[in-house]
Structure 1
């Protein structure tokens, strides 16, 4: 495997990541209000302290490529994407390291979309998390990836339980707002200061408004 963990340790770590990040479990009859609360927790930094305490070393190992073998199964790939795409945003919030694993997370998501891992997961909250790197990772094909993300989220919303459809429809809308930002600027301007990038005058005006799609999700 190219790593010093045994298979049983991998299984345990994958399960711990998924159980932590998705406390709603695998039952589709979850209460919509509770589910929305869990999405706010995931998307707005509510897990920062616990990620640092429980998953700091694991996140560092993921960033070093030591967990890439997790992608051998759909659930393992999902856990790896969470470790690469989500945990760095909590562990290294306010630092360039928060975004440094975006290309690796994107590669895992794209591979899993092509080989059937994404479809095999089934649950809407698993599939949303699996594809978040399509919108997060900057690059020349960013706009096309967000278009794909919007289509995938529409599919998830259409297939989901009726009680959860409004919630997942809101994530389609959120991705559309992100698309408008990328169409305007070609990148996420709210990262400019953290990444040491100069902002254009147009980006400065956008930043002064403070109306960022990633902060508005589940708060509108």
Structure 2
């Protein structure tokens, strides 16, 4: 599997004669990214699970040498894993390595070489981290993304800032994401159980 196959699948930016804008990509790909669909989950697992396993074995470490290769690796570990292993603890197993690759990429300024919609997924390991420090960094990065975005993407970028803020509030309050408790075998406090009754508490 080539890294370009991953990026083309996830962003689908080169379809037609004219490349799509960040806003158009977001609108076109939103269902793939955010909708829970068993058929999509199965398709991603069949197509990309060998790549995930190869990444975990270190067979594609050369991808990490450039910004787009690193982004592809992060997407496989951080996003595709959630499709492949939905409702299983396996969906979170790759998070620590995805976060490591994200932080390493930030030190190398790889994120600054990407367009705004690509940066969204470069930063996702920060948003998925059960760490107040990482959540603070995540919010900062999404605020920077918004500042760097063209006018046409400002409203969408602000939505991502607000979503990062929601994640940060939960981690600042509980220290972890309560909606993961059952899957990870963690006990939920009474406060967490009340919180989980709220719409959107589990994203």
Q: Same fold (TM over 0.5)?
A: yes
Question: What is the CA–CA distance in structure 2 between the aligned matches of 1:196 and 1:115, rounded to whole Å?
Answer: 36
Residue 60 of structure 1: how far off its partner (Å): 2.4
Residue 173 of structure 1: aligned partner: 162
Question: What is the CA–CA distance in structure 1 between the aligned matches of 2:183 and 2:139, rounded to whole Å?
Answer: 27
Runs of 4+ in 1 over 4 A off after TM superposition: 25-29
Asked if structure 2 preserves the Cα contact closer than 8 Å seen for 1:192 and 1:198, the reply is yes
* Structure with more relative contact order (C-alpha pairs < 8 Å, separation 6 or more): 1
Q: Secondary structure of the equivalent of 1:170?
A: helix
Per-residue CA shift, 1:16-73, capped at 9, x if unaligned? 0111111134988628466234234213335423212211211222234433332111
Residue 134 of structure 2: aligned partner: 145
Asked if structure 2 preserves the Cα contact closer than 8 Å seen for 1:36 and 1:167, the reply is no
For normalisation by structure 2, the TM-score amounts to: 0.89
Residue 209 of structure 1: how far off its partner (Å): 2.0
**Residue from 152, 173, 188 that aligns with 1:184:** 173
Higher mean alpha-carbon deviation, 50-59 vs 31-40, is at 31-40
Question: What is the CA–CA distance in structure 1 between the aligned matches of 2:28 and 2:183, rounded to whole Å?
Answer: 28
**Residue from 182, 192, 195 that aligns with 1:206:** 195
Change (3 A) 1:31 1:197: closer
Asked if structure 1 preserves the Cα contact closer than 8 Å seen for 2:10 and 2:29, the reply is no
Asked if structure 1 preserves the Cα contact closer than 8 Å seen for 2:81 and 2:92, the reply is yes
**Residue from 69, 94, 99 that aligns with 1:101:** 94
Question: What is the CA–CA distance in structure 2 between the aligned matches of 1:165 and 1:137, rounded to whole Å?
Answer: 25
Change (3 A) 1:171 1:118: same
Asked if structure 2 preserves the Cα contact closer than 8 Å seen for 1:28 and 1:161, the reply is no
1:83 paired with 2:46, answer no
Aligned residues: CA RMSD: 2.1
1:18 paired with 2:7, answer yes
1:42 paired with 2:7, answer no
Question: What is the CA–CA distance in structure 2 between the aligned matches of 1:51 and 1:137, rounded to whole Å?
Answer: 23
Q: Secondary structure of the equivalent of 2:87?
A: coil
Question: What is the CA–CA distance in structure 1 between the aligned matches of 2:31 and 2:147, rounded to whole Å?
Answer: 21
Per-residue CA shift, 1:198-217, capped at 9, x if unaligned? 111111111122422x63xx
Q: Secondary structure of the equivalent of 1:152?
A: helix
Question: What is the CA–CA distance in structure 2 between the aligned matches of 1:36 and 1:189, rounded to whole Å?
Answer: 30
Change (3 A) 1:198 1:72: same
